[in-house]
Structure 1
C-alpha cells in the first residue's frame, strides 16, 4: 500500500475573506507537500475547485504544482480532480497543461480527472446543469491521449471540435504519458474505471467496509479491461480519509473529539450536491456536532472501528491501516483534518511518514512509475493523414539541439 496527502486550499472562517490570511493558508499547504517529500510519502493530490468559499481556494493547482516540483525530488503531484467539461475549458488546454506539468516534474505528474463536484462551482463557468458532464467526460478523456500522441490531431465531436489538423504541444515527458485516474462514487463508476485501465479515486464518507463491493467491482473489471484508455493500465484504487497520528495517544484522541471536528464536513454538505450528504446531514452554517457530548471515547472507538478516521499512536494507526488493505485499497490518502493546527500537521506528516509508511510500503518505486515504464508503446498512430515527404529541414539555427542528421549538436 502507498500513501499520499490531499491539499485543497482549505481556509476556514474569517481568514477566507482576508487576503493576507488566504495567502498564508495557501503557502502553508505548499510547505506540507514539501515536508511530505522528505518523509516517505509518495503522492500529493491537489484539489481543484472554483468559488467554494472556505472549503477550497485552490482554483489553479497547476501553478502550485510547479512551485512544489521545484522544491521536491520524489513525490508525485496529482490533480484531484481536473473536471473535463468543454464548457469550462477547451480540451486542448487540458492536454497542453498536463503535458507541460509532466515535463516540469520529469514524470512525477499524475492526471486525475472527473465530472466535477457540484452545481455551485460549475455555475461560475455558466454551466447551469450537470446532466451532460458524464457524456462530456466520455468524449474528452480518450481524446486527450490522442492529443498527446498524434502530430496532426483533429476531431469533430458532439461537445468540442478541433476542425483542422494541429500538433498539440508539448508532448508528454519520455516515451509514454502521465498515469490517468477517474473520480468514482457508485459501483458502476468503479467498474468503468477498471474496464478502462485507469486508476479509481474514491472519497470515503462512510464505513470502510461499505466500500468493499465497489473496490471489488473495480478489481474484477481491471482483470479484463474492455479498452485501456491510454497506452498502459494503471491498476490502482486510491481512497481518501482522515488521520490523527501523534506520539501522545491521549492528545490525539482529544484532538479528534474537539468541537470543530465536523466543520469541514458541513462545507462538503453545502457544496457537493452531486453526491449524498454525510450521515449527520449537517450543513454550514449549522455548527457541527460536538462529539465529546455524544459519547466521547466510546463514540470515537466506534468511528475508528467503522473506518471513518484513523486515530492514535503510530502503532495503533498501523493496525487501523490494515483494514484498508483488507478491502483492497492500493493507495491511502489523507486530507487535512480541520482539528489540527499547522504545527500539528507538520508533526503528523513526519511521524506517520517515518513510523507507519515503512510498515506497509516496502517498494521505493511508485507503482504508477512501474506501470508507465512498462508501457508497450503509443495507443494511436503518430499521423492520421498522409505525410508530405517533401517537407524536410534544409537549414537550422545554431541553437538547434539536433542537427539535420538527427544527431546532437552544439
Structure 2
C-alpha cells in the first residue's frame, strides 16, 4: 500500500499572512514527506472556492516541490480540462516540463469540477463539461505521443504543429480521473484511468466501489493514446499523533471544517455568499468530541473513513482500507484548523509508527 499527501490549500481565517503561510507550510510538509518516504504529493486545481481551496495554480506549487525533493511523486489531482479552464496544449506542455525537471515523477489527473462556482465563473455551460473533459483526455496524451499533432472538432481547431516538450516517463505519465459518484466511477474505469476517490461512504460501500472499478476496468478495451492504469486511490482526513485525545481534538475539528466548507460549494445549487463561509471553526464541544472519538469504528458513521487517533487506531484503520482493496491512501493532513507544526508531528508519527506495518 502506498501513502501520499493531498493539498487543497485550505485556510480557516483571513488574518494577514495566513494564505502565504499556508503555502509555505505545505511546501515544507512536502519536503518532510519526501524524507520520510511518502509516495506522492497531490495538489488540486480550484478557482474561486474561498477558504475551501486556494490551490488555483498547482503546477507552480508542484514545481517548487520538485525542486526541493528527490523521490516523491508529483500528482495533479486534478487539472481542470474543459475548454476555458485550460487549453489541452498548455496542459500537455506544462505537465511534460514538470516531468522533465522532476526526472519523471508526475502523475496526471484530469477532471471537470462539479462545484457551484467554477464552470459559471469561466463561462462553461454545464452540459458541455463532460464532453470537453473526455475530449481533452484523448488530446493530451496524443500530443505527447505524436511528433506532429493536429485536431479538428467543434471546440478545437489545431493545424499540424510540433507540441514540445515531451514527458520523459515511458510510456507516459500515469493518468487518473475523479470518481465522485457511481456514474463517474464507471466512466473512469471504462476509460482505463486510475481512480481518485473521496472517502465519503462506509467501508462496505468502498469495497463495492473498488470491486466495480476493477471489473469494469479489466473488461474495458485498451485506450488509444495511453496505457491503462488500474490504481485505486482514496483521499482520507488524517491526523495521527502519539496522544489519541490530542489527535482527535485537532483531527475532528479539521475534518468538520473540510466537510462543511466542501458542502458549501458542492452539495448545493446556490453559491455561498462572498467572504468567510458560514461554518463552525471552534473546537468541538466536550460532548461532540466524545461522540466523534467513540464512533470511529461504528459502521456507516461519518467518522468511519477517517484516520484520526493514535498509531494503534491508525494501523487498524489502514488495515480496513487495505482489506477493501485500496492501492493508495492520499492523506488529507492540511485540514485548515490544524496548525502546521501539528501536521509535521503527525507526518513523522504516521511514517514511523504506521507505514512500516504496511510494507
What's the TM-score, normalizing by structure 1? 0.79
Where in structure 2 are the equivalents of 1:235-246 lying within 5 Å? 235-246=230-241
Residue 348 of structure 1 is matched in structure 2 by: 346
Alignment-derived partner of residue 290 in structure 2 = 297
Instruction: List aligned pairs for 1:67-146, cutoff 5 A.
Output: 67-127=64-124, 129-146=125-142
Q: CA deviation at 1:295?
A: 5.0
Does the Cα contact within 8 Å between 1:195 and 1:227 map onto a contact in 2? no
Report the equivalent of 1:224.
Answer: 219
Instruction: Name the structure 1 match of 2:272.
Output: none
| Count of matched residue pairs | 348
- Does 2:245 correspond to 1:250? yes
Matched residue, 2:318: 321
Alpha-carbon spacing, 1:59–1:299, altered in 2? closer, same or farther (3 Å) = closer
Q: Taking structure 1 as reference, are residues 171 and 295 closer, same or farther at Cα in structure 2, changes over 3 Å only?
A: closer
Does residue 28 (structure 1) correspond to residue 25 (structure 2)? The answer is: yes
Higher RCO (CA 8 Å, separation ≥ 6 residues): 2
Task: State how far apart, in whole Å, the 2-side matches of 1:194 and 1:318 are.
Answer: 29
Q: Distance in 2 between matches of 1:175 and 1:329?
A: 25
Distance 2:26 2:50 in 1: 17
What CA distance in whole angstroms lies between the structure 2 residues aligned with 1:83 and 1:48? 7
Deviations 1:274-302 (A, max 9, x none): 89xxxxxxx94043697545554344232
Compared with structure 1, are the counterparts of its residues 194 and 36 closer, same or farther at alpha carbon in structure 2 (3 Å cutoff)?
same
Q: Equivalents in 2 of 1:50, 1:175: separation in Å?
A: 32
List, as ranges, runs of 4+ consecutive aligned residues in structure 1 with deviation greater than 4 Å.
288-291
Structure showing greater Rg: 1
Secondary structure of 1:124 counterpart: helix
Residue 264 of structure 2 corresponds to 270
Contact 1:110 1:178 in 2 (8 A): yes
Measured against aligned partners, the alpha-carbon deviations of 1:333-385 in whole angstroms (never above 9, x if no partner) come to 1112344211110001111012211211x3xxxxxxxxxxxxxxxxxxxxxxx
The superposition leaves residues 31-90 of structure 1 with CA deviations (integer Å, 9 ceiling, x where unpaired) of 111110011210110111111111111111111111110111110010111011112222
Q: 1:27 to 1:289 in 2, by over 3 A?
A: closer
What is aligned with 2:273?
Answer: none
Compared with structure 1, are the counterparts of its residues 196 and 302 closer, same or farther at alpha carbon in structure 2 (3 Å cutoff)? same
* 1:135 alignment partner, SS class: helix
Unpaired runs of 5+ in structure 1? 276-282, 363-410
In the alignment, is the contact (CA less than 8 A) between 1:187 and 1:213 conserved in 2? no
Q: For residue 62 of structure 1, what is the aligned residue in structure 2?
A: 59
Shift of 1:212: 2.1
Structure 2, unaligned runs of 5 or more: 270-275
CA distance in structure 2 between the aligned counterparts of 1:220 and 1:289, rounded to whole angstroms: 44
Q: Aligned residue for 1:278?
A: none
Q: Please list, as runs of the form range in 1=range in 2, the aligned pairs for 1:209-220 lying within 5 A after superposition.
A: 209-220=204-215
Contact 2:233 2:330 in 1 (8 A): yes
